[in-house]
């Protein structure tokens, strides 16, 4: 089910049809620290398999996030960003609140994320370091996308 919230001059939406995939790809591949050089096809596929959130000013996308989820027990928050020209207005907080208000997120038993530098933001929404990090493991095939 699509959800939308209008706050002042910004709109927050789960409507994938509104997503500006080229803009998302550009940000992820050129400006993010976590997905440098990610191919467009990978971004498209990741959007297809996720619950996505767009932030818009008028008809221009200015932010994005996605939740990788089974829609029952687990979710992983990924690719969260607000365009640098729109930061400092509380959009990250509003985006997080919008995400956490979704029924499909509220029911999740575990909701995780990884961040290098936004711990303060996520703590405000109840995220904490892993209680038992020794239980978690990862298989990481490669560190960076290669152009």
- The number of CA neighbours under 13 Å toward the Cβ of 75 is 22
Contact of 5 with 98, CB cutoff 8 Å: yes
Which runs of consecutive H residues, i.e. helices, occur in the chain?
Answer: 21-26, 40-48, 91-100, 103-106, 119-123
Per the document, the length of the chain is 147
* Cα gap 22→3, rounded to integer Å: 22
pTM: 0.94
- Copy the structure tokens of residue 19: 């997503």
- pLDDT tens-digit profile of 32-60? 999 999 999 999 999 999 999 999 999 99
pLDDT at 146: 86
Provide the pLDDT for residue 103.
Answer: 96
> pLDDT-based confidence at 8, cuts 50/70/90?
confident
Report pLDDT for 123.
97
The alpha carbons of the chain give a radius of gyration, in whole angstroms, of 15
Residue 122 burial by Cβ neighbours in a 10 Å radius (0-12, 13-18, 19+): middle
Q: How far is CA 134 from CA 109, 114, 130, 138, in A?
A: 19, 16, 9, 11
Provide mean pLDDT across the span 16-23: 98
Residue at token pair 């910004």: 10
pLDDT tens per residue across span 78-136: 999 999 999 999 999 999 999 999 999 999 999 999 999 999 999 999 999 999 999 99
Of the candidate CATH numbers 3.40.50.720, 3.40.630.30, 2.60.40.2130, 3.30.750.24, the domain formed by 4-135 belongs to 3.40.630.30
Mean local confidence (pLDDT), 63-83: 98
Residues 56-71: what's their mean pLDDT?
A: 97
- For the chain, the structural domain boundaries read 4-135
Residue 109: C-alpha distances to residues 14, 71, 131 (Å): 21, 10, 15
Mean pLDDT of 63-90: 97
pLDDT at 147 over 80: no
Q: What is the pLDDT of residue 1?
A: 73
């Amino acid at each position: 089910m699509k959800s939308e919230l209008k706050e002042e001059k910004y709109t927050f939406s789960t409507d994938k049809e509104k997503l500006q995939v080229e803009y998302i790809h550009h940000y992820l591949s050129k400006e993010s620290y976590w997905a440098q050089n990610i191919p467009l096809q990978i971004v498209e596929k990741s959007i297809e398999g996720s619950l996505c959130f767009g932030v818009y000013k008028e008809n221009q996308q200015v932010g994005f996030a996605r939740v990788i989820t089974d829609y029952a027990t687990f979710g992983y928050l990924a690719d969260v960003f607000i365009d640098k020209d729109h930061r400092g207005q509380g959009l990250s907080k509003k985006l997080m609140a919008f995400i956490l208000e979704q029924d499909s997120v509220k029911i999740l038993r575990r909701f995780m994320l990884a961040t290098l530098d936004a711990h303060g933001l996520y703590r405000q929404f109840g995220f904490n370091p892993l209680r038992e990090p020794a239980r978690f493991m990862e298989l990481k095939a490669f560190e960076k996308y290669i152009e």
